[in-house]
Amino acid sequence: MVGIQSLKNLQCYLHPLASSISRSQRLHPSITMRILLIPRSIRNSMDVDLEHDDEVVDPRIIDILGMGYKCSFSVNGRTLTIMRIGRDEGWDGFCLRVYRRSTEATPDFMSTVYTYWGLDLEEAPRDTTKVIFHPSVTTIKSCAFSGCNSLVRVTIPDTVIRIERLAFFVCDSLKSIRLSTNLVYIGDHAFHNCKSLQAAFLPPTVTEIVDEAFINCKSLRFLHVPESIDNLGTNVVWGCDRLSTTPVSNNLSKVCSSTSVTPQMIPWN
């Protein structure tokens, strides 16, 4: 069981937008959905070249820096025209999700069920209520579900071995999460301020938890940390004032009866 440590210089983190990243990122040859990075130079409108005639653009933009950007779009052949709505000043970069009609079913952009593909700079829409993971996903990238305040439960498939920094940052409604049985790494601030999270069971494969991974999870009562941990960061559970010191493995029935956790959410069950 991890002890509560003092807070040291909590910093505010922005999404790691790399200036050198290519305009579209893919992880797997079978994935045809891509992330289109829009340059920082947009003022009122701009044209962007698409790769294929059958591409469909998700109108829910990925607002990397949380600036409240709004756009309208039109497509003519392979030309995507982006028109800015509001805001007089110039914009920083933002991203769009692009799908191909000929190779996959285009998602319902009004749906709150989101399929996560594990792409660089991919973030789920903020109103997502349920997540489906593409079978190729091995890493949940930085900020993937940051600010998804309608997520209540998440089941992470056993293909996932890494959860990167800020992955579930400020998911206010997240009560329970079933982690991958092959999980190895949890990044810094991965579950920062998930104030409804009640319990977390880390499988014996986990070897590293980075600084402040569960900081300010105010409802967290049970946290199982395996002996396999080689690298344990600082302030991992700072602010988790309700955290029990009783070993979870000795008290699973109590955990399940007093929280929203079910036995199926325990990785070693």
Query: May I ask the CATH class of domain 111-262?
Result: alpha beta
Percent of the chain with pLDDT over 70: 72
Q: What is the rounded average pLDDT for all residues in the chain?
A: 78
pLDDT of residue 160: 97
Question: Are 143 and 163 within 8 A, CB to CB?
Answer: no
DSSP output for 74-108: EEETTEEEEEE-S-SSPP--EEEEEEETTTSPPP-
Closest CA to 93 of 196, 34, 14: 14
206-233: pLDDT as tens digits: 999 999 999 999 999 888 888 778 888 9
CB atoms within 10 A of CB 164: 19
Q: Which residues of the chain fall short of a pLDDT of 70?
A: 1-31, 39-43, 64-68, 86-93, 245-269
Question: Are 239 and 214 within 8 A, CB to CB?
Answer: no
18-69: pLDDT as tens digits: 333 333 344 444 567 899 887 666 667 888 889 988 899 998 888 766 666 7
